[in-house]
Amino acid sequence: MDCQYLPLTSTGQFSSLFLDYITKKESLTPFYNRYPDVAAFGGQIADKSFDASKRQVLVEALERQYQNLDNKPDFSVLLQPNTFTVTTGHQLNIFTGPLYIIYKLITTINLARKLKDTYPDYNFVPVYWMATEDHDFAEINHFSMFGRSYVWETEQRGAVGRMNPKELKALFKQIPEKLSLFEAAYLNQDTLANAARYYINELFGAEGLVCLDADDAALKRVFAPVIREELMQHQSGELVQQKTQELEALGYKTVITPRDINLFYLDDQLRERIERKEDGSYKVLNTTLKFSENELLTIVDEHPERFSPNVVLRPLYQETILPNLAYIGGPSEVPYWLQLKGVFDHFQTTFPLLMPRNFAMYVPSVSAKRISKLGLTPEELFQDTLTLKHAYVEHHSRHALKFDNENKTVNKALDAILHKAQMVDPTLERAVLAETKRFANAVARLEKKMRRAEERNQETGVRQLLAVKNELFPNGGLQERSENFLTFYLTDRQFLQKMLAAFNPFDYRMQLCLE
């Protein structure tokens, strides 16, 4: 593939907070630990403390979760004190969801490889944190392939990882293509978490990627001291709010809003917020469940798996149960992690290196040839459609489509007319200015008519231009945010390997991958 690059600042697609972070704006340094370049990992390794007992719990959990899979990884490497993880996470979008989820996984795999090359005395395991406890089903129940959307409808509720995926059998009947891997995953596994682990292991297991389901009683027991403190003292919300106010004082828009208690109560078909009432009791919202403090703390001791951290505490949970060095996130994740530094400091947990994932646009050979023929640059592709079309028409026109020189001549004459009119009668100024404005409007209308006429003259080129734009920016958005990897994988089984070879985890630019 031929790869071309442009700065993310040139795409018009990212928030100022995210862009300022990756360009090392000094005012943001209090909100993270180290900037994510390869040299920073030496200090991160030195800082990360992770005892042998936690490693044992982690490995035993992974062994349980992978027990029914063939070709499972060798988890024993995680027992070694010189082994660390690098992690990305996402919800369990059906059929892997948009392309950018695949890109997150590839970035994480490549980061582990790069670190092994740079720090050969250590081992690095790429981890996919499956957001099995998330309950926002509407965010994961659809995917788009070859421009067509498919939606899973269900009456199931609660944590999506616990849902039965066999209902997807009806969806397979709507899909023209044969998707054997996903049929084997969804129709033979009893939970969505197990199904996702199955197909991710088939796609990336050979690359060393490990899937972790944190909806696990043993892993939650490691996190139980934090759960207990959150229920009794609920300081995390105040700590996040403090960082939020500091970011907003710098002019940034923040992403997450903390709660007084940043935990959900989790059970089958149920994931609802916990609130403390004025009488000291605890209520699970939208249910009849109510507990005294002693009752709830007893549940923490006996059933810690019934507590699920929200977006404020989930990152801390991750860093508590993994020997983790870095989190690889997208343009909405990186900003909210910057709100969390105070929580990590409070619990004396090392804040991970916060790395943007790779950003890419895959350009199939037909579109690549059109781009070359049209003479488009990467920067031009990211212009809005109207600006891009106007620039293309003007560039390829043999005629001048604006009356710039003529306007200068006429405006000079109008200024002279205005001067003469004012000499005769100052009240004529308004009449002259009105005529000047009407003339300017008439010229603007003529320019639009000339441009439309020239667009008709260049109809073939304009049509090709818009076809490329619509293919690479489906529904006006980035390809990676809507199209599924199967759109390209089904026609090129080497697609994933090509992207693995193309991505550099430390290159924070938009990458155009042209076939």
Average pLDDT over residues 162-166: 97
Q: Which one, of 330, 320, 384, lies nearest residue 352 by Cα?
A: 320
How far is the C-alpha of 291 from the C-alpha of 283, rounded, in Å?
7
HEC string of 140-209 equals CCEEEECCEEEECCCCCCCCHHHCCHHHHHHHHCCCCCCCHHHHHHHHHCCCHHHHHHHHHHHHHHHHCC
Contact 49, 350 (CB under 8 A): yes
The two tokens of residue 474 are 């489906």
What are the Cα distances from residue 115, in Å, to 25, 58, 101, 105, 330? 25, 22, 21, 16, 20
* Number of residues assigned to the chain: 515
Q: Which pLDDT band, with edges at 50, 70 and 90, does 392 fall under? A: confident
Say if residue 95's pLDDT is above 80: yes
Residue 237 has what pLDDT? 96
Which residues are CB-neighbours of 365 under 8 A, at least 6 positions away? 515
DSSP annotation string for 12-36: T-S-HHHHHHHTT-GGGGGGSSS--
How far is the C-alpha of 288 from the C-alpha of 268, rounded, in Å?
15
Which three-class secondary structure state does DSSP give residue 283? Answer: strand
Which residues are CB-neighbours of 318 under 8 A, at least 6 positions away? 87, 89, 129, 214, 324, 327
How far is the C-alpha of 354 from the C-alpha of 330, rounded, in Å?
10
DSSP one-letter code for 346: H
DSSP one-letter code for 485: T
Residue 498 has what pLDDT? 96
Which residues are CB-neighbours of 45 under 8 A, at least 6 positions away? 84, 119, 122, 325
Q: Which residue has the tokens 């500091």?
A: 246
Edge-to-edge strand order for the sheet containing 83-90? 210-213, 123-130, 83-90, 324-329, 353-356
Q: Which one, of 253, 255, 257, lies nearest residue 336 by Cα?
A: 255
Percentage helix, strand, coil for the chain under 3-state DSSP, each rounded to 5 = 55, 15, 30
Say if residue 401's pLDDT is above 60: no
pTM of the complete model:
0.89
In the chain, % of residues over pLDDT 90: 79
How far is the C-alpha of 446 from the C-alpha of 403, rounded, in Å?
9
36: number of Cβ within 10 Å: 25
How far is the C-alpha of 461 from the C-alpha of 261, rounded, in Å?
58
Q: Dmax of the chain from CA atoms?
A: 97
387: number of Cβ within 10 Å: 10
Q: Which pLDDT band, with edges at 50, 70 and 90, does 218 fall under? A: very high
Q: Which pLDDT band, with edges at 50, 70 and 90, does 427 fall under? A: confident
Contact 142, 151 (CB under 8 A): yes
Q: Which pLDDT band, with edges at 50, 70 and 90, does 458 fall under? A: low
Question: Model confidence over 281-315: pLDDT tens digits?
Answer: 999 999 999 999 999 999 999 999 999 999 999 99
Amino acid at 85: T
Q: Is 12 left (phi over 0), alpha (psi -120 to 50) or beta?
A: left
Q: What mean pLDDT is reported for the chain?
A: 93
In the chain, % of residues over pLDDT 70: 97
